[in-house]
A and B are shown apart, each in its own frame.
Chain A
Amino acid sequence: MNFLATYQSLFDHMLVNMLLAMSQYIVLRAGVFSLGTAGFTALGAYGSAILITKAGWPPAFAIVFGVALGTLASALLALPLARLRGVFQAVATLAFVQIVLSGTQNWQSLTNGALGISGIPHSVGTGTLVLIVALVVGLMVSLGRYSFGRALDVIREDETVAVSLGISVPWHQRRAFIISGVLAGLAGGLHASSSYSIMPTDYGFALMVATLAMVVLGGRTTVWGAIVGAIVLTALPELFRVFAQYRNVVQGLLLMLVIVYLPRGVADTLIAMARDRRLRGALNPSQ
């Protein structure tokens, strides 16, 4: 029990990070190079935190509002984004994150500026978080297993092939992007109501890098990659407290090593290896 109490906030943090990692995973799987997750998270977190502290909304409704905010932003952003590709998508979403960030920093009357919003009641417990994350993982796995996930894989690997197979690239990429906004908005709302206070710097460049790092480390073609990445990168700094000073060095080196030597990510590489072995076994039963 003691163990649980000590690591409860870490565990909560890990669960929220899983949602963030899945939000980043779904766009990358669709071949959309979006960095917008941090921006949607900020919208979700601020939207729900303001409603809870200033308007006295019950947390559940406020979180739903945060999700709606993230969804709306991603649905609007998806329209112009479909015309861009690669680096241009990355820069456009980066601009979006910066716009949201300067909004949270400068709209003093609403967001309390750089100080952030504090005194948010802690209303989402670990149990609720586990339940929500499990539900989302289940949805994402089944979504990825059937035609939607297959279509995303084809689009990522080769857009021309996808078009020749009758898969609408903009339709699928837009859906993936909106799902990313939903999940990020949810993660933001849950983060706000499970961590007492939020600040603009929680949702800046650092969050963007961290989310990207989780998905790169774990793998960006399966849900499990995102989950593994979130677990490892949240737990790593805690396990190596001694190296707290070198936390960024470790994270940076890890990113470089993984992208160079394990470009598909740790979990995805393992999953692919297991699948290869199974297929080979099925083809040659004698071996």
Chain B
Amino acid sequence: MLMQQLVNGIVVGSVYGLFALGFTLLFGINHIMNMAHGSVFMWGAFAGLYAVIALDAPIYVALLAGMLAGGLISVVLDIVAFRPLRRRNAPEFSAIVSSIGADLVLLAIAQKVSNTAILRFPFDAFPVVVFTVLGLRIQLLQLVIIGLVVVMVFALVWYLYRTGFGQRIRAVAYSEQTSRLLGINPGPVNTQVFFISGALAGMAGVLIGLVFNSVHFTMGEPLLLRAFVIIILGGLGSIPGALMAGMLIGIVQTLSVAYIGAGVAEAIVFVSLFLVIVLRPTGLFGKSTAAMRVQRA
């Protein structure tokens, strides 16, 4: 029973990690807390679901549709909500406020489109195949999710650290001004980062929609709150940190829901977030940087 819950926790946690990856990427590169990231995730799930229901598309097309929708919405967010602020060199407060505004708009549209209903994938959207290994019941869906997350993470790391595009992204992350002097146009770089981050969120949306077989316009908010916990635990801007913390939160959540109760689980997660941010703001896996602590004599 414990092992079974552990497996479920790892699956859910890896999807959380995928979502938090895009969130932490935006912070690491653009220094933006994108409060609308949860809505991007939700719209990814919607796009995947409507692809299956309305177009009768196979599930891998739904996954691609979710990623594409998430990526495009995220790019639009950049253009509408963040780029004007970046141009003015506005404080980080402004970006948070304008992304909250964008979040409200995206939520309201989704509520209108879905009529506030909980939508479900058709029963045969993903073939139900269950393997039994050492007494553990493992679904094909769970294996596919783990596989997808591993592939996405390796692809992202490869893109960031082994290609010219990635080199430019890292240069902009280090200093937008310096990279401009070196002839890198930060505009397209930011567009790429927003697309990648949105696509990751969209994919996570379709996967979470499949795992719990429920798609609702409020599904983004709890995930966004969890993503806060994950990226703080893992250290802001850290890719391995986001993944590890995502797994950790997934496992803690599944185990505590199974053994203590959902309400207490929530409280435990946020108390631990509070303790971490106060005692060790760099996260469990992060290195300290100047941005995190106030230096005062």
Contacts and interface: CB of A to CB of B under 8 A. Distances in A.
Give the interface size bracket for A toward B.
35 or more
A165 interface: no
B148 interface: no
A177 interface: no
B101 A255 contact: yes
B232 interface: yes
A223 interface: no
A259 B85 CA distance: 8
Given A84-B294, A92-B274, A263-B94, A99 B267 contact: yes
Interface stretch (A45-53, A126-134, A226-234, A243-251): A243-251
Nearest to A97: B270
A38 interface: no
B42 to A, nearest CB: 14
Contacts of B61: none
Contact of B92 (A87, A94, A106, A260): A87
A248 B277 contact: no
Nearest to B103: A252
Interface stretch (B14-22, B52-60, B104-112, B200-208): B104-112
A245 B85 contact: no
B100 interface: yes
B140 interface: no
Contact of B100 (A85, A96, A255): A255
Interface string B263-297: 11011001101100110010000000001111011
Nearest to B228: A91
B108 A249 contact: yes
Interface of A: 28, 33, 80, 82-88, 90-92, 94-96, 98-99, 102-103, 105-106, 159, 163, 169-170, 205, 209, 212-213, 216, 245-249, 251-256, 259-260, 263
Q: Which 7 A-B pairs have the closest CB atoms?
A: A252-B104, A255-B101, A106-B263, A256-B101, A252-B105, A80-B278, A248-B108
Interface of B: 27, 33, 80-81, 84-85, 88, 90, 92-94, 96-98, 100-105, 107-109, 112, 221, 225, 228-229, 232, 236, 263-264, 266-267, 270-271, 273-274, 277-278, 281, 291-294, 296-297
5 contacts: A82-B294, A249-B105, A252-B108, A256-B81, A259-B98
